[in-house]
Amino acid sequence: MEKRIAVHNRLDVQYLRALAVMSVVAYHFWPNRLVSGFLGVDVFFVISGFLITSLILREVSATGTLRLSAFWVRRIRRIFPAAITVIIATAIATNLSGLTAQILASGRHVFASAFSFENILLGLDATDYDRRGDMTSPLQHYWSLSVEEQFYLVWPILVIGAIGLAKISRVSPVRLLGIAIVGISAGSLFYAIVVTQGVAASYFDTLARAWELALGAGVALLAQRDFKPWRGQLISNRLAWLALATTFAIPGLNDFVPGIGVLPAVLATAIILATGTVSTSNTSGRPVVVSAFSFENIILGLDATDYDRRLETKLRRFETKLRRFAKPVLFVAKWVGDRSYSIYLWHWPIVILSPAFLGFALSGASKIGALALVLILAELTYRFVENPVRLARASWTFKPLFVGSIALVTSAAVVAVTVLYPHDLGNKEPADPLLANMLSEPLEVDTPGLVDEFPYTLPYCVGAGAAVFVCPNSNVVEFDASSYRPVPPPSDTCPYEVANSINDCVIGDTAATRSIALVGDSHAQAMWASIDLIGKRASYAVHLFIASRCSYRLDHFRWCTQRNLEIRPRLNSGEFDLVILAQSSLVLEAGVENPAFPDNPFVELFGELHANGINVAVVKDNPKRGPELYSCLLYNPKEPGSCTVPFQPQMDVATQTALDLEMPVLNLDTVFCPGDRCDAVRGGMFVWRDDGHIWPFFHFTAAPLLWSQLMEHDLIHPLR
């Protein structure tokens, strides 16, 4: 009787899954302990490439082709039920948490996660995965699932293409697939290391991760070839396991991800899969796939005449020792490996949302309790959601049209309910008369008293106005600070919208003959609404040159330096009547001598503008609110107005450079942190989007105050 061991039932694969998922979970629960635990995701990528390709090759070997519809149905049955269950539960928990920022963003992330492009959404947002100060989405971890699903969509099509090309060219489809795998791996790895170096969005980029999946596919391809185990195979396998376990504790690898930072984990996983796979021939001539780490499979699957007797003896001795000393550990590892998918899905929402329900940060016993909850939810999902659907034998569960329609309709329904659910988060439209006037159409140029009426003649207590005028204290968020657009709306003068790169988008008074250039990174982007309003009121066209993480300097990332070199001639030509530079800058520590000019990253370009007589102003970087304010918002979502931290004055390199060059500095510290406190809520709206960014809507309400400083420095001249 033929003994064939299913690839997906290999014990070493389950142990790899267990190690991978627990490293990710440990990293997210205890980030300072397992500093590179995030590499568990890369282990999953290699495993996925290996398993999926093995299943595809098995079908191709048996039938000579691959049924795409049947393949995708199997993937839906395996992935969709648990994934959509966690999405639904997370959406409900988010709405119950009271976390305004999470609730406002939930629709976008539910949509992206349900339709497998969460990684694209995060890439567009240029989210930094390790940035703990952000209000991270509880569905952000679906980015890796999206990468895998995109692989499942494209890879079988390439396999079918290789089969078709093989029939025409009479070249083995396996050889063609091998060529494709080498090409994809080399191109993707080059892209990850060279092209996307320093680009935050590349962390989620499928193209930068494709080589990891392709490497797993390559191992599966090699496993189809008949070979006998070699003497060093067992040693290689054990050393690879040791190397993989050690990799998770190596610090600093996250600075080189994706790319060389993940190479150790990826290569170790590939070696484990390769050395743990022995393909021999049984009496029927069909390959027998077994694992060097799967003891029962070794005994059942190998014919002793097909391999070295000495290796058999070593394996039996190793098996005996492990059965004696490690049986409980291996049992737990297999249990975790079987439930690794559900554990991965549940752990991140628990990490992000549980503090809001507990009212305090996870630590000590509460982390253990949260981890226990993850395992309980994973067991329930595995037993009552994953297995019933995955193992169902009813004929209708295999019909592509039916299964695909159910998945599509369910995803659409979940998204619709999440987006349309009424959120009681405060008024969407400002009620204050002056702020309503600020939002209205710009006044005619010849309107009497235009300059007197704007920036302000009457006190207003909305947003930034509450930092200047005497206003009643309020813990209530009356205005939805994120309802205002993070970037300008698309128009004829701003034809496209990209969250992390806006190149020469013209707003303000687009018909004006005078112009302002706003140049900088995401801190400049937060100002777009206030500068847009000032441009409309004072009759200036406003040109935006904004790229996330890209300040105006030449020692930055290559793509940023290239952007600055492109706009440099225009800024120095006198084309713009005013150049405003805004950026997240290096903070100068108190008592530390200012850096010398040759080492100052801003002095060359700032000094050049100053020497050329360009009308230029530098915006002092926003105060940093610190993790305490974030924690307060997280643990007191229903009373955000009670959250406040002491204001700590700071000087940044860009501002100090401007002062040394006697360039005007626009300082809004007293707007964001009036007195000696930085409040989470001011004037009925949230101030801070994260540790250093201001909500665009709050910045919009600061337009009159910014106007006042521009007038004091004689930088703008409104038409009367």
Q: What is the pLDDT of residues 275-325, one digit of tens each?
A: 875 433 333 333 334 443 443 333 333 333 444 566 566 666 766 665 666
Has residue 382 been placed in a domain? yes
Residue 568: helix, strand or coil by DSSP?
helix
- Report which DSSP code applies to 678: E
Band of pLDDT at residue 99, cut at 50, 70 and 90: confident
Has residue 30 been placed in a domain? yes
34: region left, alpha or beta (phi > 0 left; psi from -120 to 50 alpha): beta
112: pLDDT strictly greater than 70: yes
Whether 134 contacts 31, CB under 8 Å: no
> Does residue 177 share a domain with residue 60?
yes
Mean per-residue pLDDT for 338-364?
89
Long-range contacts, 91-94 (Cβ 8 Å, 24+)? 91/414, 91/417, 91/418, 93/138, 93/349, 93/353, 93/357, 94/138, 94/353
Has residue 456 been placed in a domain? yes
In 3D space, the residue among 101, 135, 121, 201 whose CA is nearest the CA of residue 690 turns out to be 135
Residue 7: helix, strand or coil by DSSP?
helix
pLDDT at residue 147, as a whole number: 96
- Over the stretch 464-474, which tens digit does the pLDDT of each residue have? 888 877 777 66
The DSSP annotation for 478-517 comes to -B-TTSS-SSPPP-SSS----TTEEEEEEEESTT-SSEEE
Q: Which residue has the tokens 């899954």?
A: 17
- Please give the Cα distance from 444 to 373 (Å, whole number): 62
Mean per-residue pLDDT for 551-572?
87
Has residue 69 been placed in a domain? yes
Has residue 656 been placed in a domain? yes
Residue 592: helix, strand or coil by DSSP?
coil
- Over the stretch 227-265, which tens digit does the pLDDT of each residue have? 556 656 777 888 889 999 999 989 888 878 888 999 999
Mean per-residue pLDDT for 487-495?
82
> Does residue 194 share a domain with residue 167?
yes
How many beta carbons lie within 10 A of that of residue 28, not counting itself? Answer: 17
> Does residue 455 share a domain with residue 404?
no
> Does residue 183 share a domain with residue 315?
yes
R_g of the chain computed on alpha carbons: 29
> Does residue 442 share a domain with residue 370?
no
Query: Which tokens belong to 131?
Result: 């940035």
Q: Which residue has the tokens 């070699």?
A: 230
- Please give the Cα distance from 178 to 121 (Å, whole number): 32
Last residue of a domain, one of 420, 454, 481: 420
Domain that holds residue 159: 19-225+308-420
> Does residue 393 share a domain with residue 514?
no
Residue 483 vs residue 545, higher pLDDT: 545
Mean per-residue pLDDT for 426-455?
55
Long-range contacts, 30-38 (Cβ 8 Å, 24+)? 30/367, 31/132, 34/248, 34/249, 35/249, 35/250, 35/251, 35/254, 36/247, 36/248, 36/249, 36/250, 36/251, 36/253, 36/254, 36/265, 37/248, 38/129, 38/254, 38/257
Band of pLDDT at residue 581, cut at 50, 70 and 90: very high
> Does residue 448 share a domain with residue 399?
no
Has residue 683 been placed in a domain? yes
Has residue 244 been placed in a domain? no
Mean per-residue pLDDT for 505-525?
92
Average pLDDT, rounded, for the chain:
80
Band of pLDDT at residue 130, cut at 50, 70 and 90: very low
> Does residue 348 share a domain with residue 487?
no
Band of pLDDT at residue 16, cut at 50, 70 and 90: very high
Last residue of a domain, one of 369, 388, 420: 420
pLDDT at residue 364, as a whole number: 84
Query: How many domains is the chain built from?
Result: 2
> Does residue 401 share a domain with residue 312?
yes
pLDDT at residue 285, as a whole number: 37
Question: Strand pairing of 541-547 and 515-520?
Answer: parallel
Last residue of a domain, one of 420, 443, 474: 420
**CA distances to 48, 65, 71, 175, 188 from 181, in Å:** 14, 19, 20, 10, 10
Q: Can you give the CATH number for the domain in which 517 is found?
A: 3.40.50.1110
719: region left, alpha or beta (phi > 0 left; psi from -120 to 50 alpha): beta
How many beta carbons lie within 10 A of that of residue 433, not counting itself? Answer: 11
Provide CB contacts within 8 A for 317, sequence distance 6+.
Answer: none
Residue 437 vs residue 570, higher pLDDT: 570
What predicted TM-score, i.e. pTM, was given to this entire model? 0.71
Has residue 647 been placed in a domain? yes
Band of pLDDT at residue 71, cut at 50, 70 and 90: very high
> Does residue 503 share a domain with residue 378?
no
Mean per-residue pLDDT for 377-391?
93
> Does residue 399 share a domain with residue 483?
no
> Does residue 438 share a domain with residue 413?
no
